[in-house]
Structure 1
């Protein structure tokens, strides 16, 4: 018996009830008896500890549209959900919380207790995040949900580390990298932002040995000059050709250092002569490697001058900078100072100014992994939507640097390397824990550092399916079909998944990369707490319903481009959900008998209407198959509102209760519109379906074919 539709769609209660019905139905899991090729998306795992923001809502809407469409097409569809341990972000957040609420640091607790408490904190927060995914309508397979620190995932990550080491693709070496003094860890280049800052360019005279001449260098960081090991000039610079090979005496320190020629030096910067401090600048480090220069660290991780800084040891680097300039001025070694605006490296997360420091870290020899990843895209095995990002990807991959995968954190995958206490040069790389040194039977200790979060996330498409074991899920669902994510993590994540997937499994991790843009406010400004323009997706769902939010995010969206969202836009799309509901109520009241178009003699105007509708079905299907999701949604919106409701329903009113042609046409179009609208507005479409056509769940219906 058909239930009468209530006057209004009460989304607050209906959405929760409908989602429970879906989840209990088992339809979120892929059919195992289907011979069709599976359609698989591995969800980009949101941070487990954090609440979802509007950017998460966008990716959920996009991916849910994809999987619901392919499910309706009868394909065994797997959307595998997950949560990310989010190394730096989680630890920094929890440490701040710990300090504010208990007055404790992680060192007060000790590593084991700190990690235990942080794990409990993250797991509690994860439940909230997963509840929010449900509120957004995510039709993912919760029976397969994964966490980046699950035991089997951790095993796989250690397995990959050892494989890289055994293959000679891992090394532990000194390198200048970006140190965040606030987060207390080294960062990869991708985790660095830049900020324009006003400073001073100081021109310093370096006396040439056994001469009354000077060579003048310009610097914005006088405190690092104490670690200089050379002065460099460009070999093509005629001003300095006679000086190359001579020795200068480093002011204050009295150390003798050479004048060298290197093409790295820009002749138009400062005086064309630059100080080389290999321990405190990446470019200087590279110059130092080429010329076999000594690395002298004069600034420590606490931003205090080290013993190598001589009489300035123990002084904060910013204070040392002032004192050094004063001493140079007193000695008459300052030529001049000029205002200078330059880009300063800052931490992407906490915005602290970064300090380039030299340190021993674990690196991947990335070129060996990059080659196959470049080839796979060149050969078209992996495609990009939009296609223009292929060029962006290729450009970055062809200029890639070795990947520093060490992080000075306690939270994350601990590096599976064990050092001998008798001789730290003796170490063992092992998937399983090690009790004693295999060389001397002495005691050992595990590496204190953890792996870069992106190292484990780079293996996400296959570790979630059981790799390195040849599980049924891995055999059936890998490679996955689509990786949908933001263009801003194309290098952070997508490129690394392609490299790691090919290296670990021998196969591409996915066949298509769909990149969404950033979500901006109605003025086009970036959404951030500091700007006060944050739109809380759950608050919008409470007010207007999940369907309205999803349409608001999709409306006007183009892959790879930033999109605009506002509460007004979401409120406007709530009207469309109401339109669907009201149209269904009219059809139910005007045509209570569910007649199929094959059982009645259709009138010419109804035949024409159905033919026109079938053209819409073809167009929508074509858009969906080509991942033109917004165009498909907009076409359905326009057709349903302006053709079906405004024109056909109005014209059909005069012919109701005659020969049944209009009634059958109304039901034919409404039923098939509900199916096609379902990926976009799953809740209101399912609610109508359950009241009008309740023999099955709309979730498990079949996409219309013409």
Structure 2
């Protein structure tokens, strides 16, 4: 397991002796810049090493590092660092998304402060202004990624609006257009009256609003129908009332026309199976231009679509409500209907889910609009097949259902946005109605009357190309040949529909059926320590940079990794970050102690016969942990691998091996040299195992311990296969004795450092060679004259007799033991009863029965031990 990296030439690495305290702020920034300068994170497309590729989910150019970023980046960095150490040509490719709406809003806000709008300066000048903003303010998150320790290849940084990616966008648009998979049509879209653009489903935040449910009477006399609505203003665009075909109540009305209140129009009553006859009155108003379900009904019945408001939400229908804002019109229309006696019922407040623009919180308006669409059916089918046939694995597997639910029922995708910042749609319109799509190597049509479409593409369109456009597609670059397909996409389960599915569709389409990644590893969302969603508007929001400043980046990273169970949300609190900081300090202090006591990595490990049982135990445990950590990495079980490393380092290495070895170090000689070499080996391997998750402290400690260049480029540890069950059992007995006696001392109120005379009867047990260590750990001094055994503890076949004269409360100890004895006797009775139940034994699985038998044996042993302890107590 020893790393074979060559030591640098003299003077190349002069890492100083470890200071008494670890101060993250003094080392993290310097270490990171050293890694970047030395090119550790740069991948070589010409390398003959096997490739390992991860592309970063591109953060918005307007964004800053939040805990969700820190969480996913920590996991991606851990995966990439480990693969690099395993000998892979590892590429973690960084970049940013141009974030159309968010970025345009930023610049429009700047213009507003100057008393201008984008229309005042024109499109070309506005786009130039956005580029200026991007250069000055954009990409702040990239610097913050360095703080976190992201080992990305900065030489390959990409931006969704750079020349290469823009070329990829135009190429695939042209290909889809020519293949009949992109078209232009009027459909219902999510419209933001503030941002003045269509927006995607992921940019709509749904929240419960206090509205009103108004029941309205349409028609007259026998033709009366009652409908209910929360959006009375849209009635001005109603073109039908729909009922279920089997609803007897309205059968006589189907096909007839009824009067639409407040207008001079009549509208038909149509029968449509979409209507739920059990909901409300069983009749619904149909407004095809302002509701997606109504639009579908309108298509089936050839209904007219009447748009009743403009792009800012202002009523445009001629009449008394013209010019009113949609919400003003709602109140005015309800008032007018009330005057006419057409209000049957009103429910206020009526709490219901309403969509809001995620950028500006404006209430979304479903709106019929002429937009560009992707025909997704064949693309989505291919994306589903790639998972079904095993070419792509979704982890955890239970997330597959959500993926299939989406791709199997995907609607055509609206890709046009009414913005100026973004990839402009490469379609030109001629003076005589011509329409020409232009590829990247083609010249747009010239001549009078030709204009380019004014819309830009949805941001998700360009980010859907990310796994291959960032590697140089459509050119067959060396990067594309070496690093595509990528290995794993690690991202939150909340964007499986919007980003993951789009990358799958575009990757399979553009790359001739080759998947964009082999594994989709889905994470949960970061929440506060009480499980509540974090939000900037809530007091529970945390800036991870604040925690990095206070406790170090390693502490933040380790806390996030320890909560990373596949697909599950991650709770995090400041106390947990403090605990991780304490872990980093523990590693630091223990390594410092080890170096001061002769820990060494020089030369090969001694042969097993020269090792003590303690040495063989820790080496056996070390190899088991290497195997465990490898298995957890392959299964994306970051929480489990972090937990395994934490308990191995803190509990087994520091609390047991180092403590058990102190007597050996004190004696000196060959035994101390052997244990020093073993301790050096354990620390070397342990620090390499910890490095992908906590890179900074491990780099400082490992280079000091080994004198080598950097743990970033060290070999990943391998399980040598060494196992010593006998040594593990032997040290297990030592741990059992020490733990039991420590518990007894604590129950008696003895101070941890208080020395107590004791007689240890260890002959004939595995414990005999460890008497000095046991005495050292338990603060037990020799018997001395006048020794009086006031308490006797039989443990693991040994007997520990303690002289607690004047220190033990005999009555309290007898009471405590009696309580423990009662618990053990109840356990014996319960397990005996179950094992005596023939019906239970006939039906219960063998593992269950075996477990109960083990519980019975443990209870009987506890009864014997406690009874002996009670008998050994002096008379009160």
Class of the TM-score when normalised by the shorter of the 2 chains? over 0.9
Instruction: State the SS of the aligned residue for 2:273.
Output: coil
Shift of 1:63: 0.4
Contact 1:49 1:123 in 2 (8 A): no
Q: 1:189 aligns with which of 184, 201, 204?
A: 201
Instruction: Flag the 1:170–1:655 CA change in 2: closer, same or farther, 3 A.
Output: same
1:585 matched to which residue of 2? 592
Instruction: State the SS of the aligned residue for 2:248.
Output: coil
Q: Deviations over 1:152-184 (max 9, x none)?
A: 101100111111110001111001111111222
2:645 matched to which residue of 1? 636
Instruction: State the SS of the aligned residue for 1:292.
Output: coil
Q: Provide the C-alpha distance between the structure 1 equivalents of 2:691 and 2:517, rounded to a whole number of angstroms.
A: 26
Q: Provide the C-alpha distance between the structure 2 equivalents of 1:579 and 1:540, rounded to a whole number of angstroms.
A: 19
TM-score normalised to structure 1 length? 0.95
Q: 1:453 aligns with which of 443, 456, 459?
A: 459
1:463 matched to which residue of 2? 469
1:486 matched to which residue of 2? 492
Q: Provide the C-alpha distance between the structure 1 equivalents of 2:140 and 2:206, rounded to a whole number of angstroms.
A: 34
Q: 1:429 aligns with which of 420, 437, 448?
A: 437
2:218 matched to which residue of 1? 206
Shift of 1:619: 1.3
Instruction: State the SS of the aligned residue for 1:312.
Output: coil
1:60 matched to which residue of 2? 73
Q: 2:699 aligns with which of 669, 681, 686?
A: 686
Shift of 1:671: 0.6
Q: Provide the C-alpha distance between the structure 1 equivalents of 2:148 and 2:383, rounded to a whole number of angstroms.
A: 34
Q: Deviations over 1:414-470 (max 9, x none)?
A: 1111122x23x31211124987647xx433221111111101111100000000110
Q: 1:82 aligns with which of 84, 89, 95?
A: 95
Contact 1:436 1:442 in 2 (8 A): no
Shift of 1:554: 1.4
Shift of 1:33: 5.7
Contact 2:600 2:679 in 1 (8 A): no
Count how many residue pairs are aligned between Structure 1 and Structure 2.
698
1:108-127 to 2 correspondence within 5 Å? 108-127=120-139
2:809 matched to which residue of 1? none
Shift of 1:185: 1.2
Q: Provide the C-alpha distance between the structure 2 equivalents of 1:564 and 1:326, rounded to a whole number of angstroms.
A: 49
Query: CA-atom RMSD, angstroms?
Result: 1.9
Instruction: State the SS of the aligned residue for 2:336.
Output: helix
Shift of 1:593: 5.3
1:389 matched to which residue of 2? 399
1:169 matched to which residue of 2? 181
Matched, 1:258 2:258: no
Q: Which protein has greater RCO, CA pairs closer than 8 Å, 6+ apart?
A: 1
Contact 2:438 2:444 in 1 (8 A): no
Instruction: Flag the 1:542–1:445 CA change in 2: closer, same or farther, 3 A.
Output: same
1:5 matched to which residue of 2? 18
Matched, 1:273 2:280: no
Shift of 1:694: 2.3
1:625 matched to which residue of 2? 634
Instruction: Flag the 1:426–1:644 CA change in 2: closer, same or farther, 3 A.
Output: same
Contact 2:600 2:680 in 1 (8 A): no
Shift of 1:364: 0.6
Shift of 1:60: 0.9
Q: 2:580 aligns with which of 554, 558, 573?
A: 573
1:371 matched to which residue of 2? 381
1:233 matched to which residue of 2? 243
Q: Gapped runs of 5+ residues in structure 1?
A: none
Q: Deviations over 1:8-55 (max 9, x none)?
A: 222112111111111122221234564342110001111122211111
Contact 2:93 2:154 in 1 (8 A): yes
Contact 2:395 2:522 in 1 (8 A): yes
Q: 1:607 aligns with which of 595, 616, 627?
A: 616
Instruction: State the SS of the aligned residue for 2:255.
Output: coil
1:502 matched to which residue of 2? 508
Instruction: Flag the 1:647–1:596 CA change in 2: closer, same or farther, 3 A.
Output: farther
2:154 matched to which residue of 1? 142
Q: 1:332 aligns with which of 334, 341, 356?
A: 341
- Quick check: 73-82 or 245-254, which moved more? 245-254
Q: Deviations over 1:612-654 (max 9, x none)?
A: 2111111112212222122111111111111111111112122
- Quick check: 653-662 or 636-645, which moved more? 653-662
Instruction: State the SS of the aligned residue for 2:104.
Output: helix
Matched, 1:475 2:481: yes
1:352 matched to which residue of 2? 362
Q: Provide the C-alpha distance between the structure 1 equivalents of 2:508 and 2:444, rounded to a whole number of angstroms.
A: 34
Instruction: State the SS of the aligned residue for 1:415.
Output: coil
Q: Provide the C-alpha distance between the structure 1 equivalents of 2:328 and 2:626, rounded to a whole number of angstroms.
A: 71
Q: Provide the C-alpha distance between the structure 1 equivalents of 2:23 and 2:415, rounded to a whole number of angstroms.
A: 50
> Which structure would you say has the larger Rg?
2
Matched, 1:37 2:50: yes
Contact 1:435 1:443 in 2 (8 A): no
Instruction: State the SS of the aligned residue for 1:203.
Output: strand
Q: Gapped runs of 5+ residues in structure 2?
A: 1-13, 721-876
Contact 2:241 2:267 in 1 (8 A): yes
